[in-house]
Amino acid sequence: MSAAEPQVATHCPYCALQCGTRLTGARGAVQVRPDADFPVNRGGLCQKGWTAPALLDVRDRLRTPLVRGADGDLHPTDWDTALDTVAAGLRRIRADHGPDAVGVFGGGGLTNEKAYQLGKFARLALGTSQIDYNGRFCMSSAAAAGIAAFGLDRGLPFPVTDLGRAETVLLAGANPAETMPPLMRHLERARLIVVDPRRTRTAERAAVHLQPAPGTDLALALGLLHLAVVEGRTDTGYLRTRTTGFTEAWQRAAAWTPDRVERLTGVPVAEQREAVRLLADADRAYVLTGRGAEQQSKGSDTVAAFINLALALGLPGREGSGYGCLTGQGNGQGGREHGQKADQLPGYRSITDPAARAHVAGVWGVAPEELPGPGRSAYELLDALGRDVKALLVFGSNPAVSAPRAGHVTDRLAALDLLVVADFVPSETARMADVVLPVTQWAEEEGTLTNLEGRVLRRRRLLAPPAGVRGDLDVLHGLAVRLGRRADHFPTVPETVFEELRRASRGGAADYSGIDYARLDAGEALHWPCPEPGHPGTPRLFLDRFAHPDGRARLAAVDHRDAAELPDGQRPLYATTGRVLAHYQSGAQTRRIPELAAAAPEPFVEVHPDTAARAGLGDGDLADVSSARGTVRARVRLTGSVRTDTVFLPFHFPGDGRANLITNPALDPRSRMPEFKVSAVRIAPAEPA
């Protein structure tokens, strides 16, 4: 490497581990290597991280704004024309239908600065309450359960490196061996207990694999708590001094005897007992939940039940043990802290709290009554498109593929008067847009992100963006000015935006006011809350007290209930969805990288051989998987590692291979999370085209 060759220390653009990387080279010749000094990945990268530079110059990279013409096609145009077109459309729709007729849909991959500015833009420049983001589909159930239990939500309330000393780790609905492989370096010593209907790559490494029917893991968690209590394995001193609500939680779990749990879930009693023994006998143990536990119409209660188990064993708030949520998207944590969620303001403040509204309004220089109230959650917002919501601006998301009941969502997107998409590739949603705005990506921009352990990180720019490409902050600035806002109220320099974010977050649950670019650039490891300059940050939460006023954690009185739909004679199988190693989220990025596309080139469905035989299917056949909402066409993969009553589909593919064509939009009443993980389906040989 030449001493003059450009190089930066930055982070991977994909998952919430935010693995440390070092980039070198010029456009078309960027090389990446893992940062051996960054403790989260310790010199490791997954296949996606190693190939990330290829994303910078994909063949169909968006490089000029596009506006749909009278002929129905998208045509290149200049930036002024594109922004003028958007602003004129927004003004017309607001004048005709009111500000809430305009919606904003953000993404968990946006930097903190972009997420903050997007929320401010929606509420001030547009005056709309209708803003939410795709993180609602990822970790909202764990957030709701964590706030209720601990008074505060942070994915991991301890550093990732603490897991390296664990003796036992329970992973409920998480498959990090495929979704975030570098995390497995921290789990090498631990005995793993994996809760998953499939025998995933993670489950293959488990000491105990609990394989419940989809949608029954809440009953399983209640049963594990039952065993911990009746076998005398709870930490009674911890429960007495650091928690409340145990009696009420136990009253619900008492009915979930081991035999009853086995009948409902299919998990043998002996395996239930072994899991509880491994957790209870360990001096250092963790309970971690992932999307499998969360993406259900009862996801908040399911996560709460696993938190109850952790609390009964005395794990949270102790160094060397704990509970955590494996946040998925790159900035899923920061994205929900700073204002692009329908019910939140920056600093993880509630939008209905008068004091929070007054504080943020003061930073923004407006009266509190100018701030809209809470809006619709992500799916509810998408469902309202073309009816109450006439225009939608999409930043960093691809709901045409990633949303549940995707066929219906595509219809709603098509019904809009105005769809505007800011992206760097022509995603399936961008192809539907009236205006497409080409924006920068990870190695072309500065900013900060917050990883799953609450560590605030610096994204650093290696390359200038291609000619014709602008940053999201520039886009928001240009639109805000055209909508009558002062230019200096929507700055385009990320550090300037972060300085305002610091003030807006001061005193909030996610307090960043003591963090600045200088400290991050100096290499300080700063986990929020960091409430003042010089504060060392808080890598480990809850060691002395939880965030409720009395300092105690709350156990939740939850009980099992069925999924929104169950298999029946017409649709006799469960379908569940998830990710595979080669792809990320909707696949809009990874499907464009040849090495990753070759590793997983097409939609597939995992089917047990016995199930396939009954349906007249063989390995490699094309199958139609149908629910009450639609049909997915996918290639059959026979595997004995999935239950005979269950099929699995990855959700990274477009067109008629969209797994979300069949998924259920039934919502969790607290988190508003859709039920991605449980659908009743039938499988049959594909109908001739």
For 393-412, how does the pLDDT look when each residue is reduced to its tens digit (9 = 90+)?
999 999 999 999 999 999 99
Bridge-based pairing of strands 622-626 and 349-350 is unpaired
What pLDDT, on the 0 to 100 scale, is given for residue 316? 98
Q: How many residues does the chain have?
A: 689
Residue 308, CA distances (Å) to 140, 141, 305 in order: 18, 15, 5
Q: Crossing angle of helices 217-230/299-312, nearest 10°?
A: 20
Please check the confidence at residue 689 and state whether its pLDDT lies above 80: no
Strand order in the sheet with 208-210: 208-210, 191-195, 168-172, 285-289, 322-325
Reduce the DSSP state of residue 622 to 3 states and report it: strand
Residues of the chain with CATH 3.40.50.740: 66-137+331-439+471-507
Contact yes or no for 520/526 (Cβ under 8 A)? yes
The residue type at 190: A
CA separation for the pair 600, 227 (Å, rounded)? 41
pLDDT tens per residue across span 38-94: 999 999 999 999 999 999 999 999 999 999 999 999 999 999 999 999 999 999 999
Is 133 exposed, middle or buried, given 0-12, 13-18 or 19+ CB atoms closer than 10 A? buried
- pLDDT bracket for residue 427 (50, 70, 90): very high
Question: Could you tell me the two tokens for 397?
Answer: 């998301």
Q: What is the mean pLDDT of residues 486-503?
A: 98
Q: What is the mean pLDDT of residues 540-553?
A: 98
Residues of the chain with CATH 3.40.228.10: 140-329
Residues of the chain with CATH 2.20.25.90: 7-57
- pLDDT bracket for residue 634 (50, 70, 90): very high
**What single-letter DSSP state applies at residue 642?**
B
Contact yes or no for 67/85 (Cβ under 8 A)? yes
**What single-letter DSSP state applies at residue 190?**
S
182-186, 197-201, 335-339, 367-371, range with the lowest pLDDT = 335-339
Top-level class of domain 7-57: mainly beta
Please check the confidence at residue 4 and state whether its pLDDT lies above 80: no
Please check the confidence at residue 212 and state whether its pLDDT lies above 80: yes
Token look-up 């996610």 returns 510
Residue 354: phi and psi, rounded to 5, are -55, -40
- pLDDT bracket for residue 6 (50, 70, 90): confident
Closest CA to 144 of 286, 304, 296: 304
Question: CATH assignment of 140-329?
Answer: 3.40.228.10
- pLDDT bracket for residue 648 (50, 70, 90): very high
pLDDT tens per residue across span 279-333: 999 999 999 999 999 999 999 999 999 999 999 999 999 999 999 999 889 899 9
CA separation for the pair 544, 551 (Å, rounded)? 8
- pLDDT bracket for residue 2 (50, 70, 90): low
What pLDDT, on the 0 to 100 scale, is given for residue 327? 87
Please check the confidence at residue 17 and state whether its pLDDT lies above 80: yes
Show contacts of 263-266: CB within 8 Å, 24+ apart: 264/213, 264/216, 264/219, 264/560, 265/212, 265/213, 265/216, 265/217, 265/219, 265/220, 265/223, 266/211, 266/212, 266/213, 266/216, 266/643
Is 176 exposed, middle or buried, given 0-12, 13-18 or 19+ CB atoms closer than 10 A? buried
What pLDDT, on the 0 to 100 scale, is given for residue 273? 98
Structural Rg of the chain based on CA atoms:
24
Q: Crossing angle of helices 269-281/258-265, nearest 10°?
A: 120
CA separation for the pair 53, 28 (Å, rounded)? 9
What DSSP letter does each residue of 402-425 carry, written as one string? HSSSHHHHHHHHHT-SEEEEEESS
Average of per-residue pLDDT values in the chain? 97
What pLDDT, on the 0 to 100 scale, is given for residue 688? 82
Reduce the DSSP state of residue 675 to 3 states and report it: strand
What DSSP letter does each residue of 34-94 carry, written as one string? E-TT-TTTTT---HHHHHGGGGGG-TT---S-EEE-TTSSEEE--HHHHHHHHHHHHHHHH
User: For domain 573-685, which CATH number applies: 3.10.180.10, 3.30.450.40, 2.40.40.20, 3.40.470.10?
Assistant: 2.40.40.20
What pLDDT, on the 0 to 100 scale, is given for residue 616? 98
What pLDDT, on the 0 to 100 scale, is given for residue 3? 56
Closest CA to 407 of 632, 586, 630: 630
Contacts of 3 (CB under 8 A, 6+ apart): none
Closest CA to 198 of 179, 184, 181: 179
CA separation for the pair 418, 651 (Å, rounded)? 27
Question: Could you tell me the two tokens for 121?
Answer: 């833009």
pLDDT tens per residue across span 376-387: 999 999 999 999
User: For domain 66-137+331-439+471-507, which CATH number applies: 3.30.390.50, 2.60.40.1120, 3.40.50.2300, 3.40.50.740?
Assistant: 3.40.50.740
pLDDT tens per residue across span 243-273: 999 999 999 999 999 999 999 999 999 999 9
